[in-house]
Structure 1
Amino acid sequence: MVVLENLTLSAGTVTVLLATALFALLRTATVRPTVANGTDRVAAFVNLTVASLLALATLGFVLVIGTNLSISAASITVEPTAVVGAVPGLIAGGVVFGLTRESGEWRPESGRGRSIRRAFRAALLVAGGIGVLELVAGLELAVAGIGAVSVLLGGVVVAALLVAAVRPTDERTESDQVIPPVSWLGRVAVTAFLLACLRVFATGFPVGLDQAGIVASGTIDWPFITNPSQGLGIQPGVMPAMFGTIWIVIGAVTFAVPLAVGSAVFLTEYAEDSIFTRAVDIATNGLWSTPSIVFGLFGLAFIVPRFGNTPSILAAQLVLGFMLLPLVLITSREAMKSVPDEYRDASAALGVSKWQTIRSVVVPASMPGVITGVILGVGRIAGETAPLLLVLNGPAFPNSGPKVLSSFLVRIGADPPFIHVSNPALMERASALPYQLYAVITAGVGAEQSFGWGTALVLLGVVLGFFLLSIATRRYFRRKLHQ
C-alpha cells in the first residue's frame, strides 16, 4: 500500500503508544462482561477483546526489544530499539496524565512524608528549569558526560520506585501515610516523562542512553506523511498538502467560532424577537445550504483583491470560515436556548450582572452544543475542493509546506497601533489535500492513481483527528457541567 511504503517504527515508541491505548481503555471502559447487562454486556465483550489484542501486541513489541530482532511485513519494518519519540511521548504521556488526574492526592501528616513530597516536587521543578536554561542557551548541560536532565529525571523515577518498594505493609489511614500511594507515584513518573519529552521536543537534546531513552526524531520514519512528493515513480509524499489543510482548517475555526458565538449571544440574550432576528435566521439557513462554489466565487471577487490580489492561505481560511460560520451560529443559538432559565434567574438573584451571567453560566453550559456544530462544520470544510481551486490555487505538488509558525514578524513603530504583526506565509499560495486529490484522481496530473487513494486516506485521517480533538473538548466541558 502506497501510504505504508517504507514505514519504519521503533518498538519503544509503538510499545508506549499501545500501552497508553490499553491504559485508557481499561480506565474509561467496562471490560468485565459479567457485571454488565443488555447492550452494555456486548460493549464489555468488545472492549475486553480490544484490550486483549492491545495487551498481546504490547507484549509482542516488548519481546522484540528484549530479543533484539526486527519485524518486517510487506513495506513496514519495526526496529528493536527502545527509544521513544518526543512527539508520540507527549501525546501518550498527556493521555495518561489526564486519566490519572482524578487519583487521590497524597497529603502526608508526618514530617518525613512531607519531605519526600517536597523532594519530588523540587526535583521536577529543577528539571524544568534546566530545560528552560538549555533552550535559552542552546547548550546541553551535562554531568559526567550524561545530560543533567537525564540524571535528574532518572533519579526521580528510581527514587519513586524505591519508595514504592519499601512501602510499609501495616494498615494506616490516609492522613498518616508516609509513603505516597502508588497512583501518586505513577503520576510523578508520568510528569517526569512529560517533562523529558517536552524538553527533547523544545531543545532537540535526547534524554537517556542511545539504546533506551527519548529522542527528537528517528523513531517513526513515515515517508508518505513526512516527505513531499518527489515525482512520478519516486517516493510519494503528502506533507506539504497535509499541513496546508491543517492550517486552513485551524484558521477557519479561529475566524468563525468566536464570531458565531458572539452573534449567538447577541441574538439569544439581547435581541428581541423581531423582523431582524427572523431575517438573520432565514439568511443563516440559506447560507449553510449554499453550494461551496458560490463561497469560492465570493472569495475570488471580494476577499482575494483585498489581501494582496493573489490567492493565498489567508483567503482560503476566510472563505472556509464563512462556510463554517452559519452552522456554528445555528447550533450555538440552539444550545443557548436550551440552557434552563433557572440558571439565569439563580445568577440574577445573586446580584450578578447580565454579562457576567452570560460569560460564566450561559456560554459554558452551551459549549458542548457549540463544539458539536464545529465538529459537523469541520467535516464539511476540510474536504472542500471548489473554493480552494479559486482562492488557494497553489502548486499541486509543492516541495515544502507552509511555514506559518516560523514566519510571524513583530515590529514596534511610532505610528498607531505601535505594534505591527505580520505573517508573510499566510499570503502565499499553498496546496491542500482536497486540492491535491483533485489533481491526481480527477485531472490525472503528475501521479499514479494509488497515490490519489493514499491521499484520500490521509485526508480522512486528518478529519478524524479534528473530530477526536473536538469530541475530547466537548467531553471535557460536559464533565465540568456535571461536577
Structure 2
Amino acid sequence: MTGATETGVVRGRASTAKTVAAAAVGLSALLFALALAAGFELLSLTGRLAGVPTIPLLGGLLVTLGAAVIAFGAGSRLELVETDPSRSAGLVAGTLFTGIWFVVTGLVASQTLGLGTVGWLAAASLGGAAAFAVTALPREDVGSTVPAGALAGSVGLVMLTGGIGPDWSWSPAGFSDAQSVTVFPRVVIPIAVAFCALVVGWAAAKAYGGFGARGRHLGAYLLIYLNAGSIIAVLFVLVAFVFAKGIDPVMAGVTVGLGVGPTTTLAVDLVIPFADVRLFGLSYDVVWPVSWPFVMNGASILNDVNGVWPAIVGTIWLVVGAVALAVPLGVGSAIFLTEYAERGRFTQVVEVATNALWSTPSIVFGLFGAAFLLPRFTPTPKKSLLAGMITLGFMLLPLVLITAREAMLSVPDEYRDASAALGVSKWQTVRSVVLPAAMPGVVTGVILGVGRIAGETAPLILTMGGGTFVTVDQAASVVDSFQLTLSPPFVTNPELTQATTALPYQLYQLILANVGQSSGIENMDTFRWGTALVLLVVVLSFYAIGIATRQYFRRKLDYE
C-alpha cells in the first residue's frame, strides 16, 4: 500500500510538472503573438487589454513566465520532478546567455547608473561571467531555466513597476546633439517581450521534454515554429494592410450586368505590308459584362475613375517575354550540365557564375540593359518593352538554371539505368524519364523567379519605363503589331521597341511624384494604394498559376 501511495504521489507530481511546463510554453507563444501585435500597432500599448493596462499586463505575464520556468528547474534539481537532464546546458547555451546578460548589465550600468567606460565594462563583464557560470557549470535543468527565467522576470518587473511606461523615452548617452537618438516604448517593448518569449519559451519547451535530447529537440522546434509563425503573420498583416488601404479605390464604380462594360473590338487581319495586300480580315465587337474602372481604365483627367490597365498589360507582357527567354535557355543548359557534360572545372565555373548572377543586385541588371541593350534596338537609344523583357529574362535565367539542375540531379539514377537497359537513347531518356520527374522542381524555380521579376522596379526604370499616367490607348498591343518584311528579321513588331509602363514602375513613379492635383489625378494617396493592391494581386496570381501547374505535374507523375 505504501509503494502504491508513493507511486500515485510521483505520478501526480509528474502530471502537475507537465502541466506547468505546458502552460509556460503556451504563455511564451501568447506573449510572442502579443509582441507582434504591439509591433504592428494592432495592440495599443497605451490602452487596456482584458481591462488591465497593456504594459503592466505584459510585465506581469513575463514575471509569471519567468517564475514558472525557474520553479520547474528547481523542482527538477531537487528531484521533485522526474526528468533526465544532461550534466550541463552546453557551451552554446552558455555563450548565448553570456552575450545576453553582458548587454543587459552593460546597458543598466552605463545608461541607468551612469557609470563610465571602465565601470560599465566591468559590470557587463561580471554579468556575462555570472551568466556563463550559472548556465554552463550546473546541471542542464538549472542552467537552462534560471538565466532565462531571470531575464524574463527582470524585464517584466521593469514594465510592471512602471520603469517603462506609456510616456517613457530613452536617449542613449554617447550621441552628439546632431546625432541624437530617442527610443520610445512602441519600439522597445515589442522587441523586449518577443525576445524574452523566445528565450523563455525555449527553456520551457526543454523542461516539458524532460531536458536531455528530447528536451533540446522540443526547444529547437518551438523556436522554429514561433519564427515561422511570425513570418506568416507578417505576410498576412502586410497583405491585409495593403488590402485595407487599396480596396476602396480598386472597387470604386464596379458594376456587373449584361452590356455594362466597355466595348472591345477583336480583329484578325492577314496583311502583307510590303505588298500592301490584305488577304482577309475579321472583326467584331465584344461588350464586357462587367465594368471595373480601376482595372479597365487608364489614367486621364476625363475619367471619373482612373485605372491601371496599361500597367497591368505591361507587367503581363514583361513576365511572358522574360519566361519565354529564360525557361528554354535555363532548362536546356541544365539538361546539358546534368546529363551530358562531364563533372569538372567547366561545370564548377558555371555553378559559381550562376550563383553569382542570381545574387547580383537588380540595379546592376538594369545598368546592363541600359548600356548594352538600348543602343542595339533603335538608332538612338531609347527605353523599350523588349529591353525590359530581355533584362528581366537575364535576371530569371540563373534561378531557372539552378533549380532545374538541382531537380534533375534529384532524379534517381535507377530511372536512367532502367531506361538505358531497355535500349532507349540518351535524349529519349532525358525527354521521357528525367524531365517529367524533374518538372515539379523546374516549375518551382520558375514560380520563385516570376515572383521576383514581376515586382522589380530598378531594371524597368532604366530600360522600359515610359510614363506615369498612361491612357488605355497607350497600353502595349504586342499581338496586333506583328509585321512581315522582305529584309531580316522578316518579322517585326514596332510595339516591342516602344516605351511602356508596368505596375511596379508606375507605383514607383506615383510615390516619387507626389504632385497631388497638379498631376491631374485626384486622391493621389488612394490611387497609390490601389496600384499597390493590384500589383500584389497580379504577383500572387502568378504564384497561384505556378503552384497549380506544379501540382498538376506532381499528380501526373504519381499516376504514371
Range into which the TM-score falls when normalised by the shorter chain: 0.5 to 0.7
Equivalent-residue separation in structure 1 for 2:336 and 2:358 (angstroms)? 20
1:482 counterpart SS class: helix
Partner letter of residue 527 of structure 2? Answer: F
Change (3 A) 1:78 1:305: closer
Residue 383 (structure 2) pairs with residue 311 (structure 1): yes
2:357 aligns with one of 287, 296, 308: 287
* Structure (1 or 2) with the larger CA radius of gyration: 2
Alignment of structure 1 residues 18-37 onto 2, 5 Å? none
Q: CA deviation at 1:284?
A: 0.9
Q: 1:364 aligns with which of 422, 427, 436?
A: 436
TM-superposed deviation, 1:232: 9.4
Higher relative contact order (CA 8 A, sep 6+): 1
Matches within 5 A, 1:17-166: 75=252, 81=257
Q: Which residue of 1 aligns with 2:465?
A: 393
| Range moving further from structure 2, 468-477 or 398-407 | 468-477
Kindly indicate whether the alpha-carbon contact (under 8 Å) linking 2:367 and 2:459 is maintained by their aligned counterparts in 1.
yes
Match of 2:498 in 1: 428
Asked if 1:374 corresponds to 2:443, the answer is no
**1:407 equivalent in alignment to 2:481:** yes
Q: In structure 2, what is the Cα distance between the partners aligned to 1:410 and 1:137?
A: 16
Do structure 1's residue 249 and structure 2's residue 303 form an aligned pair? no
Superposed CA deviations along residues 278-299 of structure 1, whole A, max 9, x for unmatched, are 1111111111111100000011
Deviation at 1:137, TM superposition (A): 8.2
Does the CA-based 8 Å contact 2:407-2:441 persist in structure 1?
yes
Deviation at 1:436, TM superposition (A): 0.7
Q: 1:354 aligns with which of 403, 414, 426?
A: 426
Pick closer, same or farther for the CA change 1:452–1:262 going to 2, 3 Å.
same
- C-alpha separation in 1, matches of 2:298 and 2:435: 42
Partner of 2:510: 440
- Secondary structure of the residue aligned to 2:318 is helix
1:456 partnered with 2:529: no
1:123-159 deviation digits (Å, cap 9, x = unpaired): xxxxxxxxxxxxx885xxxxxxxxxxxxxxxxxxxxx
For 1:77 and 1:261, the matched residues in 2 are separated by 43
Deviation at 1:482, TM superposition (A): 1.1
The answer (yes or no) to whether the contact 2:260–2:290 under 8 Å persists in 1 is no
Equivalent in the alignment of 1:327: 399
- Structure 1 letter corresponding to 2:415: Y
Change (3 A) 1:383 1:232: farther
Give me the whole-angstrom Cα distance separating, in 1, the residues matched to 2:355 and 2:505. Answer: 27
Aligned mate of 2:297, from 217, 227, 232: 227
CA RMSD in angstroms comes to: 2.5
The verdict on how the C-alpha distance between 1:275 and 1:322 changes in structure 2, with shifts beyond 3 A counting, is same
Alignment match of 2:553 (pick from 451, 466, 477): 477
CA distance in structure 2 between the aligned counterparts of 1:78 and 1:404, rounded to whole angstroms? 29
Unaligned runs of 5+ in 1: 1-73, 88-135, 139-201, 205-215
Instruction: Find the aligned partners of 1:232 and 1:322 in 2 and give their Cα distance.
Output: 39
C-alpha spacing 1:277/1:434, structure 2 compared with 1 (3 Å): same
Deviations 1:13-64 (A, max 9, x none): xxxxxxxxxxxxxxxxxxxxxxxxxxxxxxxxxxxxxxxxxxxxxxxxxxxx
Q: d(CA) in 1 for partners of 2:284 and 2:308?
A: 27
SS at match of 1:469: helix
Q: Deviations over 1:275-319 (max 9, x none)?
A: 111111111111111110000001111111111122100000000
Supply the distance in 1 between the matched residues of 2:461 and 2:284 (Cα, whole angstroms): 39
Displacement of 1:260 after TM fit?
0.2
Amino acid at match of 2:547: I
Query: Per-residue CA shift, 1:244-272, capped at 9, x if unaligned?
Result: 11101110011001000000001111111
Whole-angstrom distance in 2 between the partners of 1:426 and 1:326:
24
1:72-125 CA-to-partner distances (Å, cap 9, x unmatched) read: xx956655x5789999xxxxxxxxxxxxxxxxxxxxxxxxxxxxxxxxxxxxxx
- Rounded to whole Å, the distance in 2 between the matches of 1:267 and 1:86 is 51
Tell me if structure 1 keeps the 8 A contact 2:252–2:293: no
Cα deviation digits, residues 417-451 of structure 1 (max 9, x gap): 7x811111001000111111011113325340110
Letter of the aligned partner of 2:525 in structure 1?
Answer: Q
Q: Which amino acid aligns with 1:349?
A: A
What is the TM-score when the length of structure 1 is the normalising length? 0.55
Identity rate, percent:
59
Helix, strand or coil at the partner of 2:465: coil
Q: Helix, strand or coil: the match of 2:287? A: coil
Structure 2 CA distance for partners of 1:267 and 1:442, relative to 1, 3 Å: same
Q: Which moves more between the two structures, 259-268 or 438-447?
A: 438-447
Secondary structure of 2:449's match? helix
* CA spacing shift, 1:431–1:480, aligned 2, 3 Å: same
- Offset, 1:470: 1.3
Asked if 1:343 is matched to 2:415, the reply is yes
Q: Would you identify which runs of 4 or more consecutive aligned residues in structure 1 move more than 3 Å?
A: 74-79, 81-87, 231-234
1:478, distance to aligned residue in structure 2 (A): 1.2
Q: How many angstroms does 1:393 deviate by? A: 2.7
Alignment match, 2:345: 275
The match for 1:301 is 371
**In structure 2, what residue type is equivalent to 1:318?**
I
CA distance in 2, matches of 1:464, 1:320: 18
Instruction: Quote the offset at 1:220 in angstroms.
Output: 0.7
Match of 2:306 in 1: 236
How many residues align structurally? 283
Given the alignment, which residue of 238, 251, 261 partners 2:331? Answer: 261
Encode CA deviations 1:169-222: one digit per residue, 9 max, x unaligned: xxxxxxxxxxxxxxxxxxxxxxxxxxxxxxxxx855xxxxxxxxxxx4331100
Alignment partners' CA distance in 1, 2:419 and 2:512:
57
Looking at structure 1, the residues matched to 259 and 304 of structure 2 have their Cα atoms a distance apart, in angstroms, of: 30
Structure 1 pair 249–77 and aligned structure 2 pair: CA distance change class (3 A): closer
Using the alignment, how far apart are the partners of 2:501 and 2:364 within structure 1? 20
- 3-state secondary structure, aligned to 1:290: coil
Measured at CA, do residues 275 and 480 of structure 1 come closer, stay the same or move farther in structure 2, by a change above 3 Å?
same
| 8 A contact 2:252–2:294 mirrored in 1 | no
Q: Distance in 1 between matches of 2:460 and 2:258?
A: 43
Q: Tell me, yes or no, if structure 1 residue 466 matches structure 2 residue 538.
A: no
Q: 1:397 to 1:322 in 2, by over 3 A?
A: same
In the TM superposition, residue 343 of structure 1 has moved relative to its aligned partner by 1.1
